[in-house]
Structure 1
Amino acid sequence: MKTPIFSFFAALIFAGCSVFGIRTTEEPSYNVRLGRGKIEIREYGAVLLATTRVSSDYEESTSVGFRRLADYIFGKNTREKSIKMTAPVVREEESEKISMTAPVLQETSAGKWTISFVLPANYTLESLPAPLDERITIAEIPAKKVATIRFSGFLDEENYRKKAEELETWLTGKGYTMLSEPRFAAYDPPWTLPFLRRNEVLIDIQ
């Protein structure tokens, strides 16, 4: 049985590791098929996501969505059971696709975001406790090929849009077909030193 003193020092050690960018949380597994500096082409297996939608600006939607999902994994579910926190936290700006002739045009729905937690690999759709909050959905995302660009610093709106444009430009130049809008993944808690943070933009590709 863990004593309060043990738990306190364990928390201090974990927080210290997080400050310096040492990650101990579970992450989705993947295979790197191509690496070009900060850009990678990866193949991911299927993963389970807990997702919620928030209509607000970038900063507010992140805060609201994170708290809502955190409540779910910390016990606000049908079994009142805590679920281990994983990384990354994923954000995506929703778009409306308007089918015309060719190509498919995409129009951004201003102020609508999805925030997602990747759930631990030892769960299945059947074994996961269901959320009590109806604004949270659980879904299995199939295996896919993903292009990523990695960067440190703050994951503010200006920074992520700049990196998304950089990745899209690289993919277009290399002849890749993009299958999704950019997603923005944060692997570290906010107290991690900015220059040690791992942030990524991800785009599904053919």
Structure 2
Amino acid sequence: MANKKDRPKYLVLKKWGNFEIRQYEPRVIAETRIQNDFEQATKEGFNILAAYIFGQNATKSKIAMTAPVEQTEDLTQKNWLIAFSMPINYKITDLPSPKDPRILLKQIETQKRAALAFSGFCTEKKATQNTRLLLELIEQHGYSPTGPCILARYDPPWTIPCFRHNELLFVIH
């Protein structure tokens, strides 16, 4: 399990309960595109990206596990994007090339995001319900989402549901 220092860095700009407006620092992600249902896409994408950080890359280097695992629906192609943030000490040029052609390394620039935190198992139904709530909160606070909703899961699968930390995020302006 990744600790808090292995998470994307951000500054909380505003906070109302479990809803926050954050300014994220630039970061690098490893991302894969999966055509499958909500749950299977998470598992398949996780396994592909885990293989990369555990040494199935051009230099057989191991890269520290980070949190969260992000899942975003790509509505244009009807599939899912699964992403791991790379540790903050890596620039994109420092990372080994993936052996798996399904993995893409990407630089993500500074972003403002709205976040809604919740606990428990994150089913597709629960994500959909919380996404509606997050969209209402974004509008109430005078922001507009840009792009699809991002589901961020922070805990390993053996974590007891009441201790799990999940978030839904939208890039906003």
User: Is this a same-fold pair by TM over 0.5?
Assistant: yes
Residue by residue over 1:77-131, the C-alpha shift from the partner in whole angstroms, topping out at 9 and shown as x without a partner, is 00001100000000000022xxxxxxxxxxxx44x00000010011111110010
1:50 aligned to 30, 37, 41, which one? 30
1:116 aligns with 2:83: yes
Q: CA deviation at 1:23?
A: 4.0
The residue type paired with residue 53 of structure 1 is R
8 Å CA contact retained: 1:23, 1:188: no
Pairs aligned (count):
173
What's the counterpart of residue 101 of structure 2? 134
8 Å CA contact retained: 1:25, 1:87: no
State how far apart, in whole Å, the 2-side matches of 1:117 and 1:72 are. 10
TM-score, structure 1 as length reference: 0.81
1:86 aligns with 2:66: yes
- Correspondence 1:1-206 to 2 at 5 A: 23=3, 26-96=6-76, 109-110=77-78, 112-206=79-173
8 Å CA contact retained: 1:73, 1:84: yes
State how far apart, in whole Å, the 1-side matches of 2:127 and 2:73 are. 11
Structure 1 unaligned regions, length at least 5 = 1-17, 97-108
Q: Percent identity?
A: 38
TM-score, structure 2 as length reference: 0.96
Structure 2 unaligned regions, length at least 5 = none
Q: CA deviation at 1:168?
A: 0.3
